[in-house]
């Protein structure tokens, strides 16, 4: 056997009869996530496997908390900043080259010529689910916490390591869409019924089940590599995707780009060979990651939520939360006194905040005229309700910023609280994130 690769995020353990275990066990972490280091180790393992005399591989977690919770979103934020600092005409290539190694590594793993079985005990989300999809055989435990999902759309992204291509091929487009677009999850029972899981067993029996499959001498290839072209009903696929696109267009969903990018990935890739399909998926991902919406949603719905929940548990939410909430509601009350108010609030997805707005003390704000920019509200609107909706967003951001604390962590907590409590549009990150954007962009003039 050739020398094993040097690993830190994973380890290789010998089992029996030529089987090895590839154990995902990040040092110093209670849950595995895909860091850049872990991503590149998968590629090294796949390259080594191809020339080894290994009989088969069992993928499993070394954590009691689950299999893998997805990407390291802190590293993702750093990557976003790195990409956006490059000249505009270089960003797509930089993004593609930075993020494609995981997709390439998983593809190398499934085509290395060795049967790969995965044991999923606990959560396998995002990149963790994509990792499991790249295995030839999937054993899930009947642990109530076991689940597979691709929740990237909930933070403005798409599964960029083959998730938009493998999931529809495994379970069908119709079953895949709620997982990809709505953050749905497969339980062990539903995964088995959908064909995503091959076996569901007790946790203590899972490794033995995976090894038993390897010892049965299975073919070390994926269904999509045995079918050329893939068996896809193009007309039925188009109908499903068209219906999902129409649903995503419903206000305020039209301002969240991730669902449309996901549908583009499926439509453009589902009939391609897998190598071309994952390249197409990464091309779409490289464009999406440059938009501000994913950055805003990660900052608020992930980092902000984590800090909010930690502080809420300790009874230490920011003192400025009440003042910012009053300022936002007051700005909406001052702006939204006309006949178009209900339509404007509905357009923004703020209908549930109407009673609180009516009870708020008005906070007048001088709203400057828009001069164009990335977001819809930075342009002149051609309908009264949309014009008012734009004013409501901008007024609330300016009012909130005037009374907000300076501490960035506290601002993220407040943004998350207002997104969660009032339904403030997550694609702008919350009122304080929006205020920062407006100030940095300098696209508004008095």
pLDDT at 446 over 80: no
Distance CA 127, CA 36 (A): 12
pLDDT digits (tens, 9 = 90+) for 200-247: 999 999 999 999 999 999 999 999 998 765 567 788 899 999 999 999
pLDDT digits (tens, 9 = 90+) for 44-83: 999 999 999 999 999 999 999 999 999 888 888 889 899 9
Name the pLDDT band for 305 (thresholds 50, 70, 90). very high
The pLDDT of 16-29, averaged and rounded, is 95
pLDDT digits (tens, 9 = 90+) for 133-181: 999 999 999 999 999 999 999 999 999 999 999 999 999 999 999 999 9
Residue 1 has what pLDDT? Answer: 54
pLDDT at 444 over 70: no
pLDDT at 128 over 60: yes
The pLDDT of 249-274, averaged and rounded, is 92
* DSSP at 368: P
pLDDT digits (tens, 9 = 90+) for 370-413: 778 889 999 998 899 999 999 999 999 999 999 999 999 999 99
pLDDT at 103 over 70: yes
Distance CA 47, CA 320 (A): 53
pLDDT digits (tens, 9 = 90+) for 337-381: 677 888 999 999 998 888 999 999 999 999 988 778 889 999 998
**What is the average pLDDT score of the chain?**
93
Residue 228 has what pLDDT? Answer: 63
pTM: 0.93
Residue 443 has what pLDDT? Answer: 42
Cα dist from 382 to 248, 368, 445, whole Å: 22, 17, 19
Q: In what order do the strands lie in the sheet with 137-141?
A: 10-14, 19-24, 56-61, 116-120, 137-141, 199-201
Residue 190 has what pLDDT? Answer: 98
User: Which residues have a Cβ under 8 Å from the Cβ of 141 and sit 6 or more positions away?
Assistant: 119, 120, 121, 122, 188, 200, 201, 202, 203, 206
pLDDT at 276 over 60: yes
Residue 61 has what pLDDT? Answer: 97
pLDDT at 441 over 80: no
Distance CA 173, CA 335 (A): 44
At residue 271, the 3 state secondary structure works out as coil
pLDDT at 328 over 90: yes
């Amino acid at each position: 056997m050739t020398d094993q690769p040097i690993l830190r995020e994973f380890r290789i353990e010998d089992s029996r009869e030529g089987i090895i275990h590839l154990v995902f066990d990040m040092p110093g972490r209670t849950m595995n996530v895909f860091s850049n280091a872990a991503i590149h180790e998968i590629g090294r393992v796949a390259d080594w496997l191809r020339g080894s005399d290994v009989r088969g591989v069992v993928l499993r977690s070394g954590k009691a908390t689950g299999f893998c919770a997805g990407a390291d979103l802190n590293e993702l934020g750093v990557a976003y900043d790195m990409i956006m600092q490059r000249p505009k005409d270089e960003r797509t290539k930089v993004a593609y080259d930075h993020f494609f190694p995981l997709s390439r590594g998983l593809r190398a793993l499934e085509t290395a010529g060795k049967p790969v079985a995965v044991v999923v005990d606990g959560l396998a989300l995002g990149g963790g689910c994509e990792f499991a999809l790249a295995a030839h055989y999937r054993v899930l435990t009947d642990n109530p916490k076991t689940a597979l999902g691709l929740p990237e759309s909930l933070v403005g992204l798409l599964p960029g390591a083959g998730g938009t291509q493998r999931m529809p091929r495994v379970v069908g487009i119709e079953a895949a869409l709620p997982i990809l677009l709505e953050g749905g999850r497969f339980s062990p029972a539903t995964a088995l019924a959908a064909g995503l899981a091959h076996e569901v067993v007790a946790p203590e029996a899972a490794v033995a089940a995976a090894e038993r499959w390897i010892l049965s001498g299975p073919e070390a290839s994926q269904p999509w590599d045995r079918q050329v072209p893939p068996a896809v009903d193009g007309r039925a696929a188009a109908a499903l995707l068209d219906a999902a696109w129409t649903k995503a267009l419903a206000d305020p969903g039209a301002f969240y780009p991730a669902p449309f990018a996901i549908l583009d990935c499926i439509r453009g890739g589902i009939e391609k060979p897998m190598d071309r399909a994952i390249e197409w998926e990464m091309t779409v991902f490289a464009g999406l990651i440059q938009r501000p919406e994913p950055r805003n949603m990660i900052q608020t719905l992930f980092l902000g939520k984590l800090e909010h929940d930690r502080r809420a548990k300790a009874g230490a939410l920011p003192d400025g939360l009440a003042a910012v909430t009053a300022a936002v509601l007051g700005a909406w009350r001052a702006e939204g006194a006309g006949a178009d108010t209900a339509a404007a609030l509905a357009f923004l997805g703020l209908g549930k905040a109407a009673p609180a707005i009516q009870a708020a003390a008005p906070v007048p704000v001088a709203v400057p005229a828009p001069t164009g920019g990335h977001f819809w509200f930075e342009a002149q609107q051609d309908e009264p309700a949309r014009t008012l909706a734009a004013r409501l967003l901008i007024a609330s951001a300016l009012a909130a910023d005037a009374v907000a604390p300076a501490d960035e962590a506290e601002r993220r907590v407040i943004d998350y609280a207002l997104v969660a409590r009032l339904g403030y549009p997550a694609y702008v990150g919350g009122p304080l994130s929006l205020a920062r954007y407006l100030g940095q962009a300098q696209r508004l003039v008095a």
